[in-house]
Amino acid sequence: MPATDKTDRTMTSVTAQEALDFHSQGRPGKLEISPTKSMATQRDLSLAYSPGVAVPVKAIAEDPATAYDYTTRGNMVAVISNGTAILGLGNLGALASKPVMEGKSVLFKRFADVDSIDLEVDTENVDEFVNCVRFLGPSFGGINLEDIRAPDCFIIEQRLREVMDIPVFHDDQHGTAIIAAAGLINALALTGRDFKTTRLVCNGAGAAAIACVELIKAMGFNGENVILCDTKGVIYKGRTDGMNQWKSAHAVDTDRRTLTEALEGADVFFGLSAKGALSTEMVLSMAPKPIIFAMANPDPEITPEEVAHIRDDAIVATGRSDYPNQVNNVLGFPYIFRGALDVRASTINDAMKIAAAEALASLAKEDVPDDVAAAYQGNRPRFGPQYIIPVPFDPRLISAIPIAVAKAAMETGVARKPITDLSDYAQQLSARRDPIASTLQRIYERVRRQPKRIVFAEGEEVQMMRSAIAYANQALGTAILLGREEQMRETAEREGIDLNRAGIQIVNARLSKRVGAYTDFLYARLQRKGYLFRDVQRLINNDRNHFAACMVALGDADGMVTGLTRNYSTALEDVRRCIDAKPGHRVIGVSIALCRGRTVLVADTAVHDMPTAEELADIAEEAAGLAKRLGYVPRVAMLAYSTFGHPSGERSERVREAVKILDKRRVDFEYDGEMAADVALNQRVMEQYPFCRLSGTANVLVMPAFHSASISTKMLQELGGSTVIGPLLVGLDKSVQIASMSAKDSDIVNMAAIAAYNAGT
């Protein structure tokens, strides 16, 4: 079990009890199988099973490649172990390895949307193991071998690769090697070293260690400068005790015999052995600025605290997520298989591994988005000794790594289904990570074709600056940051943000030549609403929401985003002083909730407290309009606590009345109600009302009042695991979006993109 002390960690560790509770609570274990096709009706059954299923059976028999079209094969990986080297815990058997293998399967899904199942094979006999696995090819697009001890793992992998026509990848070997190589590239760069002259000692000469050493040598590391050690000490030329052919291949001419001797003056330590194998004395004897990758799991060869206690010039990495610099194969296997599956690669070769390592290393050098900063509990990491490698929750991994792997597969001729449009592939990859992406993808794409000028009203806020940079970087248009330039530049300098790039414009309201025009414009609107000229002057000079909204109103910007420093309704009031509703429209808020692959729009989540029947009908029209603009065919449910008159009550009457109003208006979208949420969202429940006019479950939910809208979307987010975007402002004459005060920079960029999209692409 991981230690429970919390000294100087970036993240809290876990207790043994917490780990057991986590695994036993609810449904025991960590995964379940869920169908991808509806099984609601007799017809579904006929299609999914007999007789319908016979059709794809025959098609696959005729052309085996169609298995990728009609079955799960193309996205399904088996995680297979016999439990002979479970993490660094040793040989605890196949059954005991199951929590780790279930874990790997879950990580495949979570990080790269690869479906996966764990298979524990209860034999230590190499032939039996190979014979068990070799016939499983038809079920899977790839085989991930895990926690099988050396040297058995080398023989098993080699033999399976020979007889199977799908990638067979021993993760402890190659996954680990890829991540360690990526970390090494960056640690060498940070300490001014190179592959030719650096001296490396690797403790452990098993699966992970041999693969790490082989990969870095394949990448150009000088083999003469690498010493391997195992439980018997240094692996030197001529040693006979405890040797095998894989160790012999890396034996060197040296008179050093122990790990202690080997490490004297060494630049790099790779630990792929066991807890506590590296002593502080050994660390003291290493060269200046030593690089120490203590990768044994769950407990490293030495802890970062122990190293920090004796020297302050070391770069330290471990395999754990509760220290900085996690060098762990979780950063690799999900994405490597993603890329390999997507081109139907027949194997995962060295070129694909090196491409993955290089892509990972480069990513660590880029500016870090909010989601990653959150994984560091708010301490935004910057490339340096404490951040040489991205963290597993880095949302950029899903697009960066698979694409590098897929390209390398195509270049080396092992891709059976090459990808022609890589930019389209990059978008598909992002969409896999987060269902929001597929909804937003279209918006981003359209904005890119017609870029827009968006004013980021709270330009002095760091998140606004980061979002503006991201907006400009993604070629969405010009990001106008509103605020005092000097302040902004100071903050930017401190935060390492580069404002001197194309697509960024800074506007200081006080120095702007447009102050007069904005003041006149706003005074004309407000003079009969109790505002004196100098009140309006003050609003324009001192209040960035008013200035920004006037910029948009008078065409100096196409859209605006705000919300970080004021609550939603205050920001909306600011904007409404400057911008009206679009003629014939009503301003409302619509939230988009994405859950388990389903998207629903919920309205009104921002403006109307207790809408009248007339207002509810307007809300339905506005929300349906947004749904159409987002590419959905709206099916609007007018929600209430009752369904079609039962139980009756005064509050539901307003909703019923709204349906009648929509009838009179002859609107051109599907709607019905009043109905309860389960009727709207569950096909089987809806079928109990055969007269219901919705052709399927609702994708637009009009709530009877603001409180139910707000409460239900927040519950969806907190309890239902939904991602909720918005509320998006709909119905304004000009394009404005208000982010929530807790918005991350990625949320703000989304809001800015939506503002740009609404500005008339």
Ligand X SMILES: NC(=O)C1=CN([C@@H]2O[C@H](COP(=O)(O)OP(=O)(O)OC[C@H]3O[C@@H](n4cnc5c(N)ncnc54)[C@H](OP(=O)(O)O)[C@@H]3O)[C@@H](O)[C@H]2O)C=CC1
Tell me: does residue 204 bind ligand X (CB under 6 A).
yes
Tell me: does residue 116 bind ligand CC(=O)C(=O)O (CB under 6 A).
no
Q: Is 49 a catalytic residue?
A: yes
Q: Which is nearer to Mg ion, 172 or 604 (CB)?
A: 172
How many Cβ atoms sit within 10 Å of the Cβ of residue 429? Answer: 24
CA gap 581, 573 in Å, rounded: 12
Angle at 161 between CA 155 and CA 162, to 5 degrees: 90
Instruction: Report the residue number whose CB is nearest to ligand X.
Output: 206
Among 10, 176, 439, 642, binds ligand X (CB under 6 A): 176
# residues contacting Mg ion (CB under 5 A): 2
Tell me: does residue 329 bind ligand CC(=O)C(=O)O (CB under 6 A).
yes
Tell me: does residue 207 bind ligand X (CB under 6 A).
yes
Residue 516 contacts residue 484 (beta carbons within 8 Å):
no
**Across the strands, what pairs with 119?**
80
Half-sphere exposure of 683 (CA within 13 A, CB side): 6
Of 699, 673, 696, 667, the C-alpha closest to 684 is 696
User: Measured from the CB of residue 326, what is the shortest distance to ligand CC(=O)C(=O)O in angstroms?
Assistant: 10
Among 30, 149, 417, 489, binds ligand X (CB under 6 A): 149
Residue 241 contacts residue 264 (beta carbons within 8 Å):
no
CA distances from 575 to 520, 650, 743 (A): 16, 35, 19
Tell me: does residue 214 bind ligand X (CB under 6 A).
no
Q: Which is nearer to ligand CC(=O)C(=O)O, 206 or 290 (CB)?
A: 206
Contacts of 338 (CB under 8 A, 6+ apart): 112, 113, 114, 398, 401, 402, 405, 429, 432
Residue 202 contacts residue 226 (beta carbons within 8 Å):
yes
- Marked catalytic residue, from 49, 58, 660, 714: 49
Among 102, 118, 147, 558, binds Mg ion (CB under 5 A): 147
CA gap 66, 74 in Å, rounded: 10
The interface partner of residue 242, options being ligand X, ligand CC(=O)C(=O)O, Mg ion, none and the CB cut-off 5 to 8 Å by kind, is ligand X
591's enclosing H/E stretch is strand 588-595
Q: Is 444 a catalytic residue?
A: no
CA gap 161, 157 in Å, rounded: 6
Residue 166 contacts residue 140 (beta carbons within 8 Å):
yes
| C-alpha of 91 from chain center | 34
Ordered strands of the 233-234 beta sheet: 233-234, 226-230, 200-203, 268-271, 291-294, 315-318
Q: Which is nearer to Mg ion, 299 or 747 (CB)?
A: 299
# residues contacting ligand X (CB under 6 A): 30
Instruction: Specify the stretch interacting with Mg ion by CB under 5 A; choose among 145-153, 516-524, 594-602, 718-726.
Output: 145-153
Tell me: does residue 206 bind ligand X (CB under 6 A).
yes
The interface partner of residue 272, options being ligand X, ligand CC(=O)C(=O)O, Mg ion, none and the CB cut-off 5 to 8 Å by kind, is ligand X
Tokens standing for 390?
């991205």
The interface partner of residue 712, options being ligand X, ligand CC(=O)C(=O)O, Mg ion, none and the CB cut-off 5 to 8 Å by kind, is none
Instruction: Specify the stretch interacting with ligand X by CB under 6 A; choose among 11-19, 24-32, 204-212, 716-724.
Output: 204-212
Q: How far apart are the first and last CA of the chain?
A: 55
Tell me: does residue 147 bind ligand CC(=O)C(=O)O (CB under 6 A).
yes
Among 74, 88, 477, 634, binds ligand X (CB under 6 A): 88
Among 100, 145, 181, 205, binds ligand X (CB under 6 A): 205
CA gap 46, 491 in Å, rounded: 63
Contacts of 609 (CB under 8 A, 6+ apart): 705, 706, 707
- Marked catalytic residue, from 58, 68, 104, 247: 104
CA gap 736, 752 in Å, rounded: 9
Tell me: does residue 328 bind ligand CC(=O)C(=O)O (CB under 6 A).
yes
| C-alpha of 526 from chain center | 46
User: Measured from the CB of residue 30, what is the shortest distance to ligand CC(=O)C(=O)O in angstroms?
Assistant: 16
**Across the strands, what pairs with 415?**
345
Angle between helix 350-365 and 207-218 (nearest 10): 80
Of 330, 359, 383, 375, the C-alpha closest to 182 is 359
Tell me: does residue 172 bind Mg ion (CB under 5 A).
yes
Of 478, 423, 438, the C-alpha closest to 456 is 478
Tell me: does residue 601 bind ligand X (CB under 6 A).
no
Tell me: does residue 187 bind ligand X (CB under 6 A).
no
Tell me: does residue 85 bind ligand X (CB under 6 A).
yes
User: Measured from the CB of residue 328, what is the shortest distance to Mg ion in angstroms?
Assistant: 9
Tell me: does residue 272 bind ligand X (CB under 6 A).
yes
The interface partner of residue 355, options being ligand CC(=O)C(=O)O, ligand X, Mg ion, none and the CB cut-off 5 to 8 Å by kind, is none
Tell me: does residue 455 bind ligand X (CB under 6 A).
no
Tell me: does residue 87 bind ligand X (CB under 6 A).
yes
Tell me: does residue 172 bind ligand X (CB under 6 A).
yes
Among 230, 267, 604, 745, binds ligand X (CB under 6 A): 230
Within 68-107, the residues that bind ligand CC(=O)C(=O)O by CB under 6 A are 87
Instruction: Specify the stretch interacting with ligand X by CB under 6 A; choose among 207-215, 344-352, 461-469, 704-712.
Output: 207-215
CA gap 586, 596 in Å, rounded: 31
Instruction: Specify the stretch interacting with ligand X by CB under 6 A; choose among 84-92, 379-387, 589-597, 704-712.
Output: 84-92
Q: Helices (DSSP H) in 328-421: which residue ranges?
A: 333-342, 350-365, 370-375, 397-411
Among 102, 120, 172, 615, binds ligand CC(=O)C(=O)O (CB under 6 A): 172
The interface partner of residue 231, options being ligand X, Mg ion, ligand CC(=O)C(=O)O, none and the CB cut-off 5 to 8 Å by kind, is ligand X
Of 461, 413, 364, 434, the C-alpha closest to 745 is 461
Which positions from 317 to 356 touch ligand X by CB under 6 A, shown as an x/- string? --x-------xxx---------------------------
- Which residues would be at the binding site for Mg ion (CB under 5 A)? 147, 172
Q: Which residues bind to ligand X, rule: CB under 6 A?
A: 85, 87-88, 149-150, 172, 176, 203-209, 229-232, 242, 272-274, 277, 295-297, 319, 327-329
Which positions touch ligand CC(=O)C(=O)O (CB under 6 A)? 87, 147, 171-172, 297, 319, 328-329
Q: Which residues are catalytic?
A: 49, 104
